[in-house]
Chains A and B, each alone.
Chain A
């Protein structure tokens, strides 16, 4: 494998670890929210949950390869108390946006080029999730020509 030096900079590991924390939070939110959804909304959420699991595995692998110790999922997350499907979709939208904010603001600080590309591949998939969730909420999928932090 190329491009990820063992013993990477602490800054790189810190970025990846927080990214993994956010993936764990997303997995918890999808897992908790899926039973409250129905039909197409539920099918989409189940599909995205699988992709978030892949992201978590990817980031954990990168951290391990770089010589770091990856964080385990938390025992609980503050996800509020969504009751209706729209509440769940809005929660998932916020969670996806939080991931996008983190990745877009930190990607340029990652030193190894291949790790930046790997993070971009994950970030772009999360951007697709965000667009689809916005569509399910009945708003425009695209929030502008740049997927930026803090929208």
Chain B
């Protein structure tokens, strides 16, 4: 990724934070859809993304397709996503706003995956590979959400917390990449500039 491209994306170049397609909006309308959003709008959006991730992790664990070691790791990641929601909700409460409710159906989650150009589908989990791939796709969307938000947030504490969470999501992606292809070093950290999915 060249610096020009990196900065262009960080500056958004007119792109909305939440690039969700019309299909997803039928069931779930994200709140962050314009530039110059307030911190409350951005934090609400990030909580919705985290709720989307929790839905995906729960669905994957419910399939019973994961081997013992993978399931143990995925349970740990799920618990960390829940910790992210709690932390962001505290930030939002401090700004006087209640946390929103994110997508809780497979159709809404799949629409979000599709809108971000990801191949995995929550409604089509037949193998461990399917499960890990969809979680990796979910993590890429989360990372992209934080990457875009960090250039806009104004609150010092929300900014710092978002950076700490984004880095943790990047670690999740690394772990999932390693589970998917244990022998491929490049899957741990495919790029030196972690930006997630657009």
A interface residues with partner B (beta carbon < 8 Å)? 1-4, 40, 43-44, 47-48, 50-52, 54-55, 58, 61-62, 100, 103-105, 107-109, 113-118, 120-132, 135, 141-142, 144-148
Query: CB distance B164 to A146 under 8 Å?
Result: yes
Min C-beta distance of A130 to chain B, whole Å: 8
Chain A-chain B contacts (Cβ-Cβ < 8 Å), number: 163
Contact A147 B159, CB 8 Å, known A3-B10, A124-B143, A141-B171: no
Closest 5 CB pairs of A and B: A113-B151, A117-B10, A147-B167, A124-B170, A127-B167
For the complex, what is the distance from the CA of A62 to the CA of B3, rounded to whole Å? 9
**Interface members, chain B 103-148 (any A CB < 8 Å):** 143, 146-148
Q: A142-B168, A146-B168 are in contact. Are A125 and B150 (CB under 8 A)?
A: no
Select the residue from B76, B79, B174 with max chain A CB neighbours within 10 A: B174
Q: Which residues of A sit under 8 angstroms from B76, Cβ to Cβ?
A: 142
Bound Cα distance from A87 to B128, whole angstroms = 36
Q: Select one of A52, A55, A123 contacting B163, CB under 8 A.
A: A123
* Contact assessment for A103 and B163 in the assembled complex, using a CB-CB cutoff below 8 Å: yes
Contact of B194 among A52, A62, A121, A142 (CB under 8 A): A121
B171 pairs with A128, CB closer than 8 A: yes
Q: Chain B contacts of A124 at CB under 8 A? A: 143, 166-167, 169-170, 194
The 8 A CB mask of B74-85 against A (1 = contact, 0 = none) is 001101110110
**What's the least CB distance linking A7 to chain B, in Å?**
17
Are B175 and A51 in contact, with the CB atoms below 8 A?
A: no
Chain B residues proximal to chain A, CB less than 8 Å: 3-4, 6-11, 13, 76-77, 79-81, 83-84, 87, 143, 146-148, 150-152, 156-157, 159-161, 163-175, 178, 185-186, 188-189, 191-195
Known: A104-B163, A108-B159, A147-B164. 14 other contacts (CB 8 A): A2-B8, A3-B151, A47-B186, A51-B192, A107-B160, A109-B156, A116-B151, A120-B166, A125-B170, A127-B167, A131-B171, A141-B175, A144-B80, A146-B168
Does A118 contact B168, Cβ atoms closer than 8 Å?
Answer: no
Q: Which residue of B lies closest to A142 (CB)?
A: B171
Q: CA of A61 to CA of B1 in the docked complex: distance in angstroms? A: 13
Q: Which residue of A lies closest to B193 (CB)?
A: A121
A54 touches B151 (CB 8 A): no
| Whole-angstrom distance between the Cβ of B70 and the nearest chain A Cβ | 13
In contact, A2 and B11 (Cβ under 8 angstroms): yes
